[in-house]
Amino acid sequence: MIRAFRLAFFLALPALAGFLSPIRADEGMWLFNNPPKSQLKSKYGFEVAPAWLDHLQKSSVRFNSGGSGSFVSADGLVMTNHHVASDALQRMGTKDRNYYRDGFHAKTRAEEFKCEAMELNVLMSIEDVTERVNGAVKAEMKAAEAFAARRAVMAEIEKESSEKTSLRSDVIAFYQGAVYHLYRFKKYTDVRLVFAPEQQIAFYGGDPDNFEYPRFDLDFTFFRVYENNKPARVEHFLKWSKEGAKEGELVFVSGHPGRTNRLNSVAELNYFRDTGYPFLLQRLNRWEVLLNAFSGRSEENARQAKEFLFSVQNSRKARVGGLAGLMDPEMMGKKEAFDARLKEAAAKDEKLKEARGAWAAIEKAEKVRAQLIRPYTVLEGGAGFNSDLFGIARTLVRASEEKPKKNQDRLREFRDSALESLELQLFSEEPVYDEYEIIKLADGLTFLAAELGYKNPVVVRALAGKSPQLRAAELVLNSKLKDVGERKKLYRDGAKAILASKDPMIALAKSVDAAARQIRKRMELEVEEPKRQAYSEIAKVRFALEGINAYPDATFTLRLAYGVVKGYEENGKKIPAETDFAGLYERAAEHLNKPPFDLPPRWVEKKSKLDLKTPFNFVCTADIIGGNSGSPVVNRNAEVVGLIFDGNIQSLVLDFAFTEEQGRAVSVHSKGMIEGLRKIYEAHNVADELEGR
Amino acid sequence: MIRAFRLAFFLALPALAGFLSPIRADEGMWLFNNPPKSQLKSKYGFEVAPAWLDHLQKSSVRFNSGGSGSFVSADGLVMTNHHVASDALQRMGTKDRNYYRDGFHAKTRAEEFKCEAMELNVLMSIEDVTERVNGAVKAEMKAAEAFAARRAVMAEIEKESSEKTSLRSDVIAFYQGAVYHLYRFKKYTDVRLVFAPEQQIAFYGGDPDNFEYPRFDLDFTFFRVYENNKPARVEHFLKWSKEGAKEGELVFVSGHPGRTNRLNSVAELNYFRDTGYPFLLQRLNRWEVLLNAFSGRSEENARQAKEFLFSVQNSRKARVGGLAGLMDPEMMGKKEAFDARLKEAAAKDEKLKEARGAWAAIEKAEKVRAQLIRPYTVLEGGAGFNSDLFGIARTLVRASEEKPKKNQDRLREFRDSALESLELQLFSEEPVYDEYEIIKLADGLTFLAAELGYKNPVVVRALAGKSPQLRAAELVLNSKLKDVGERKKLYRDGAKAILASKDPMIALAKSVDAAARQIRKRMELEVEEPKRQAYSEIAKVRFALEGINAYPDATFTLRLAYGVVKGYEENGKKIPAETDFAGLYERAAEHLNKPPFDLPPRWVEKKSKLDLKTPFNFVCTADIIGGNSGSPVVNRNAEVVGLIFDGNIQSLVLDFAFTEEQGRAVSVHSKGMIEGLRKIYEAHNVADELEGR
């Protein structure tokens, strides 16, 4: 699945915003105050009317937990994905009621179930404040002063706005800081669950079908926003299309793509292709095999490893798709042409001369990165000590050293602003399972030795003259860090307590920390910092060339994408644009109804009630990425024809560049949603509300 | 499972025989004409009586397909593993009768089912012929002459013997050729199936439980040998023990270990630890994930990939276990001491001076090997072109070049003696599945690029300006080599036809062949040959030191091993020596009876009839390896107490060195066999025959 956008990514890539131009095809995640009018006009004969745009904007909803949604009734009904809602669904469950697994249906409004800690935002207005922000930054200021002045004026603008309008007001940088917009949001915090299907039909096909197509997922959930304890009356909501998405039709996606890296230079992509992705995949493969083998041994093992395993599988599929894109000469050719165009512009324009060395600087940094990545990953990335207890030990050891320092001198995860969430994690009562810890740590130590060499002093200290298995068992079984009280004591008592500790895991964390910190420093100074500076110069070149005629990189703000409902060809086979209910039952039968292809019981019982030719999922060419999960797909009349929930495997390169040869966004079909709601769930109240009956 | 020994190993390691001494613990795969009398006497107070030894020898049976067995009744009943019998069981099946999956039970002798192409051997006598063999080799002969003379005298001895005795007669080299023995075997070729359980109980727990313990596998099958269409009356057979194996008891294993590499020097083990195993595991992990993901997509995919997947999983587990052993300082310490002892002996003895440079020569060769292994694997090993069609194309291209050469100048797989089996494989009608071929090949090409670099000329030619996915699809879909007729035509018409061929897979095979042949040549000349010479010198040192006081490396000839029924400790937990029937049902329940932990239906139905405390499997410290599958485990009275079928994961280092701290041989318990035969299968005829009733 294109996971709901998370502020902290698992195995994240560096966050560097970018873009690719000139714009062709159905590319782009466009700002609502700068839509692709000319492209839509010339290619599809579609006029973007201001009222149409305003209506779509105010019908769109951002899930601040990281996802998208839309109003689909005047009474504040909100549509999103089951996988965007899954955190809320899991939190709401009790021992006896597993809403996440079994679904939920409020037959009346009284039954609608309030979700804790949810915030939905609706974008009400956009105002360009670039001049005011830049006006506060004087030419004579040093970098730190300029940074502070910019922060200050942004805070001032936000404060003024929220006082004046009572709306949440955020100043947001686009185009790597070339443009600042003030976004005002209406906030909804009383959010209630209306309907969710079983997780098994929402994520039908599990990992094998994840990122694949054809597909059969009913990945939807409905909430309702309330105000003053009553359903909110919303002026703008999306009507339901009678026909639903049709092959060849122009469609729009209004949602919140989380992050793209389309400015990445060819040197960085070459690094990913030649070193970064192959090494990451090696690690993901290793973990997937390890966790699968462990999970196969018992149901309890499977339960313990499930979350990590799924996360590894999801990442693995994403990277396999990404690597395939990086090995596609057409995609890379485009990126080369793009780099060349920017270089040429920088070479011609004296005002852009600072950028002339940027590409070489990135190339140099990527070479260093290729040298450092393997030891960095095992030492500082912790892959060589893969266990929760080691992570806890390292945090305690480092906290004892970092906390006494001045705030600005600390490692970033120990800054005052980060301590609250760090402590929350450190003191979590989440159980630690011995055997699971041991197999992960033994594998990590084996990996450490393979990467650094068996005779490397860090490895020798880490293994302490034992085999990885025996050493891991000794470390895990003899550590007291499973006890949260022990962690609290060590954290509170700091350096003295750490020094006095006899805990073997603490000792291990201490013994590798100098080497880990050293390689982290090198990565920061020799890779990250020169790249940050270089990309900022490249961004200036691009902005000088195109201004806001191109769309900015994704920033988890509302964007408009468009495309066509369209199949594609794969391995010589035509993959049709749509699937239908008949296909779902065929898929289950093909798999003898075995997990993860088993149907929930009511889907078996009620099969005969269904019109099996009803469309289920479909693909279109719109430009989406993580964070777009839950975005509505609408037609020219701004009516709902579908609901984005995934990208196919060929779309996984969209982080770097748009491609529509095979890359597709995957949606639930609007007719499939109604068919399911009415015939399987008998949720006529929800379906009636959607269809405006 | 410790696979039945195969002459051609999947992912085999180089075959270099060796040993480790001095002998301690329960180590050794002893020759029947040189049993470990003193060890058994001093440690266990057991006297090896000649009659006892002769009886055990003549009760032991070799399955020439690669496995062990034993006579267990006077009427020629033979006991072995289900996984040794599996080839025969699969061949015997028809569409309507799947003996492999469902089992077989001949209730009367008339129902016993004749197996085609099976040969069982019983060792009748051993004669030392070293003097005669060496006598034929004169000091003045050159290497090739000496080789021919040795071959000739061996053939002569074999011929004389078989004419005189009518027994199969093989001259076999032990201790790397220091000793030659004439082995005479009685052959049985009329072999009939008597009883086999369902594969699901024979290999209960599938891959997750493979090489693991505790364990619950009823991995047995019974055959009967016939002579003149009547059950053979055999003088020597093993009686059934009333009590079965008991914790702490001394037991013996009589069987045919396939191959060990205990002479491997530390330099070679370091290569395995630091380069060979990690790289092999990287590849196995990659394939396992690829095949699992492919298999997850459909039952048909799973069927296509099943054999390759299981083979990968089995190898992966074996290598994980082997690597753990190589990272065990105790094991490596022993090997270092062993090398040191031999080096010292060579340094002191002028007659052994040729060996003095051997360790350095191996170390040098292993360094070259470490440099070559990655490109060797993708290019010559074919991992960069992972598909059946590429293999076919390469064979055709090479055949067209090799066949016109003189026999001795050809690549070894094209020698006259190998052509029959090569053609059998090349013209096999086994189906080739497009999608399966494409995913394997796309992955292979991606791997190739990662290993050699995207801009390597071989990679550029292989990808032909396309992404691996598109290129793989193009190659597979446009190749005509799926058609066996096309293969035959190209093979027959040779170089001219290959030159004229427009087949894209043939073109790919041609375009990479020079590079592949070049690296193969380097591997042969710079690694294999110097090592062969060095190990031969080292073997002389060892033989000079110990003569036949130590056991020779395994050679798929009959050996005696011994040990104690004994549990072990793992991750701080005590693993008991025995499991029981109750444990089997607990394991199934734990897994909700889901595959591969589902019980065959009659095991569910007949549970109440069983005495659940009956022992099922057990472990002992005897020294075994692949080829020992199906070996009987007997007590001091030479009565059957169990049946070897596996080693635990800690035993997987036995290829290099014996270890009994955690390493264990895993057996079916004799009482478990009887309990299953009587109460589940109602095979009282078989049980009565075993128990001598």
- Tell me, what's the pLDDT at B592? 87
Beta-strand pair B67-71/B573-575: unpaired
- Region B546-564 average pLDDT: 92
Residues B509 and B436 in one domain: yes
Q: How many CB atoms lie within 10 A of CB B417?
A: 8
| A329 closest CB neighbour out of B438, B446, B465 | B465
What tokens does B29 get?
A: 């795969």
Residues in chain A, total: 693
Among partner residues B299, B325, B468, which is closest to A592 by beta-carbon distance? B299
From B175, B173, B77, B248, select the one nearest B690 (Cα to Cα): B77
- The whole-angstrom distance between A396's CA and the closest CA on chain B is 25
**Residue B41: pLDDT over 60:** yes
Single out the residue in A535, A563, A585 at which a domain terminates: A535
What pLDDT does residue B5 have? 60
Measured CA to CA, the distance from residue A533 to residue A539 in angstroms comes to 10
- Kindly report, residue by residue over A218-250, the tens digit of the pLDDT: 999 999 999 999 999 999 999 999 999 999 999
Q: Are A252 and A619 in contact (CB under 8 A)?
A: no
- CATH value at residue A606: 2.40.10.120
Q: How far apart are the C-alpha atoms of A478 and B353, rounded to whole Å?
A: 51
Whole-number pLDDT of residue A14:
31
Contact B590 A434 (CB under 8 A): no
Whether residue A356 is found in the same domain as residue A412: yes
Q: Please report residues of B whose CB lies closer than 8 A to that of A449.
A: 327
Per-residue pLDDT of A401-427, as tens digits, reads 999 999 888 998 898 878 887 898 899
Phi, psi of A280 (to 5 degrees): -65, -40
**Is residue A155 assigned to a domain?**
no
Whether residue B571 and residue A289 make contact (CB cut-off 8 A), yes or no, is no
Give the nearest partner residue to A454 out of B274, B297, B450, using CB atoms: B274
* CB-CB neighbors (< 8 A) of B299 in chain A: 590-592
Chain centroid to CA B221: how far?
19
Residue A178 belongs to a domain: no
Nearest to A208 among B288, B293, B467 (CB): B293
Residues B588, B604 within the same domain:
yes
d(CA A635, CA B415): 68
Q: How far is it between the farthest Cα atoms of chain A?
A: 75
Residue B278's closest CA among A474, A462, A285, A509? A285
Cβ–Cβ below 8 Å for B435 and A591: no
Decide if B296 and A207 are in contact by the 8 Å CB cutoff: yes
Is B465 in contact with A207 (Cβ distance < 8 A)? no
Percent of chain B at pLDDT > 70 equals 96
Whether pLDDT at A256 is above 90: yes
Domain check: are B203 and B273 in the same one?
no
- The reply to whether A165 touches chain B by the CB within 8 Å rule is no
Of the partner residues B208, B284, B289, the one whose CB lies closest to the CB of residue A296: B208
Would you tell me which residues 301-330 of chain B have a C-beta closer than 8 angstroms to some C-beta of chain A? Answer: 316-317, 323-325, 327-330
Helices (H), A247-328: 266-271, 277-297, 299-326
Whether residue A276 lies inside any domain: the answer is yes
- Are B266 and B336 in contact, with CB atoms under 8 Å apart? yes
Q: Which residues of A touch B297 (CB under 8 A)?
A: 208-209, 212
Q: Which of A130-134, A333-337, B261-265 is the least confident region? A: B261-265
**Chain B residue with minimal CA distance to A450?**
B274
Q: Tokens 């594998």 identify what position?
A: A443
- pLDDT tens figures, A630-650: 999 999 999 999 999 999 988
What beta strand segments (E) does B90-199 contain? 104-105, 113-115, 120-128, 168-174, 179-188, 190-196
* B244-258 confidence digits (pLDDT tens): 999 999 999 999 999
pLDDT band at B663 (very low <50, low <70, confident <90, very high): very high
In a shared domain, residues B380 and B395? yes
- In tens, the pLDDT along A157-174 reads 999 999 999 999 999 999
Residue B456: inside a domain: yes
Instruction: Say how far apart CA B579 and CA B212 lie, in whole Å.
Output: 12
pLDDT of residue B130: 93
- With beta carbons less than 8 A apart as the criterion, state whether A436 and A388 touch: no
Give residue-wise pLDDT tens across range B358-386. 999 999 999 999 999 999 999 999 999 99
Q: What is the pLDDT of residue A95?
A: 65
A437 inside 8 A of chain B by CB: no
| Euclidean distance between CA atoms B104 and B454, whole angstroms | 54
**A592 CB near a chain B CB, below 8 Å?**
yes
- At B190 the pLDDT is 95
Average pLDDT of B99-126? 93
Same domain, B600 and B512: no
By percentage, how much of chain B surpasses pLDDT 90? 76
B383 with B254, same domain: the answer is no
Interface of A with B in 461-490 (CB under 8 A): 463, 465-470, 473, 477
Average pLDDT (A462-472) is 95
Q: Is B237 helix (H, G, I), strand (E, B) or coil?
A: coil
- Report pLDDT digits (tens) over B90-101: 877 776 788 988
Name the percent of chain A lying above pLDDT 70.
96
Q: What is the 3-state secondary structure (H, E, C) of A545-578?
A: HHHHHCCCCCCCCCEEEEEEECCEEECCEEECCE
pLDDT at B4: 61
**Taking CB atoms and an 8 Å limit, are A299 and B453 in contact across chains?**
no
Residue A201: per-residue pLDDT? 97
Q: For chain A, what is the mean pLDDT?
A: 92
**Lookup result for tokens 């099958």:** B221
Do residue A231 and residue A275 come from a single domain? no
Distances (CA, A) of B667 to A659, B202, B243, B622: 57, 12, 15, 11
Q: Which of B419, B339, B413 is nearest to B380 (CA)?
A: B413
Question: For all residues of chain B together, what is the average pLDDT?
Answer: 92
- Looking at B537, B567, B590, the residue that finishes a domain is B537
Q: Considering only residues B164 and A656, tell me which one the structure prediction assigns the higher pLDDT.
A: B164
Residue B218, domain member (yes or no): yes
Answer whether residue A448 is part of any domain: yes
The residue of chain A with its CA nearest to that of B212 is A297
Between CA B53 and CA B638 the distance in angstroms is 9
| Chain segment B494-510, per-residue pLDDT in tens | 999 999 999 999 999 99
pLDDT band at B13 (very low <50, low <70, confident <90, very high): very low
The pLDDT score that the predictor gives to residue B385 is 98
Number of domains in chain B: 2
Asked whether the CA dihedral B323, B329, B334, B338 is positive or negative, the reply is positive
Within 328-387 of A, beta carbons closer than 8 Å to B belong to: 328-330
Residue A248 burial (C-beta neighbours within 10 Å; 0-12, 13-18, 19+): exposed
**A477/B571 Cβ within 8 A:** yes
Same domain for A378 and A499?
A: yes
- B6 pLDDT more than 60: no
Instruction: Please judge whether B282 and A282 are an interchain contact, meaning their C-beta atoms are less than 8 angstroms apart.
Output: yes
Convert the pLDDT of each residue in B161-214 to its tens digit.
Answer: 999 999 999 999 998 788 999 999 999 999 999 999 999 999 999 988 999 999
Across the interface, do B327 and A463 touch by the CB < 8 Å criterion? yes
Q: Is residue B183 part of a domain?
A: no
Domain C-terminal end among B482, B505, B537? B537
Q: Is residue B353 one of the residues assigned to a domain?
A: yes
Burial class (CB in 10 A: 0-12, 13-18, 19+), A54: middle
Q: What is the pLDDT of residue B142?
A: 81
A273 Cα to chain B: minimum distance (Å): 8
Q: What's the pLDDT score for residue A68?
A: 97
Nearest by CB: A208 against B274, B297, B469:
B297
Residues of B with Cβ-Cβ distance to A470 under 8 angstroms: 328
| pLDDT of res. B335 | 93
Q: How confident is the model at residue A460 (pLDDT cuts 50, 70, 90)?
A: very high
pLDDT the model gives residue A22: 44
- Band of residue A652 on the pLDDT scale cut at 50, 70, 90: confident
Give me the pLDDT at residue B95, please. Answer: 65
- Using one digit for the tens of pLDDT, what is the confidence trace for A61-79? 999 888 999 999 999 999 9
Clarify whether residues B477 and B582 are in a common domain: no
Residue among A211, A180, A175, A181 at smallest CA distance from A321: A211
Which residues of chain A does B324 touch, with a Cβ-Cβ cutoff of 8 Å?
442, 446, 467-469
Q: Tell me if A286 and B285 make a contact (CB, 8 A cut-off).
A: yes
Residue numbers in A near B467 (CB within 8 A): 324-325, 327-330
The arithmetic mean of pLDDT across residues A424-453, rounded, is 94
Parent domain of A275:
266-535
**How far is Cα B208 from Cα A146, in angstroms, rounded to an integer?**
60
Cα distance between residue A471 and residue B442, in whole Å: 39
Q: Taking residues B507-519, report their average pLDDT.
A: 97
> pLDDT class for B299, splitting at 50, 70, 90?
confident
| Residue B535 CB coordination number (10 Å) | 24
- Look at residue A436 and tell me whether its pLDDT is greater than 70: yes
Burial of A605 (0-12, 13-18, 19+ CB in 10 A): exposed
Structure tokens at B91: 């061949």
Amino acid at A63: F
Q: How far apart are CA B28 and CA B252, in angstroms?
A: 11
Tell me, yes or no, if B437 comes closer than 8 A to chain A by beta carbon. no
- HEC secondary structure over A78-125: EEECHHHHHHHHHHHCCCCCCHHHHCEECCCHHHCEEECCCCEEEEEE
**Percent of chain A at pLDDT above 90?**
76
Average pLDDT over residues A599-621: 97
As a whole number of angstroms, the distance between CA B623 and CA B647 comes to 10
Please state the rounded mean pLDDT for residues A203-219.
94
Q: A209 vs B297: CB contact, 8 Å cut-off?
A: yes
pTM of the entire predicted model: 0.86
Structure token digits, residue B325: 């052993």
- Residue B7: per-residue pLDDT: 40
Same-domain status, B275 and B244: no
Nearest C-alpha in A relative to B288: A289
- With cut-offs at 50, 70 and 90, classify the pLDDT of residue A597: very high
Between chains, do B324 and A465 touch, taking CB under 8 Å as contact? no
Res A287: pLDDT: 98
Same domain, A59 and A101: yes
pLDDT value for A90: 80
Q: Quick check: B285 and A285 CB within 8 A? A: yes
H/E element holding B580?
A: strand B578-580
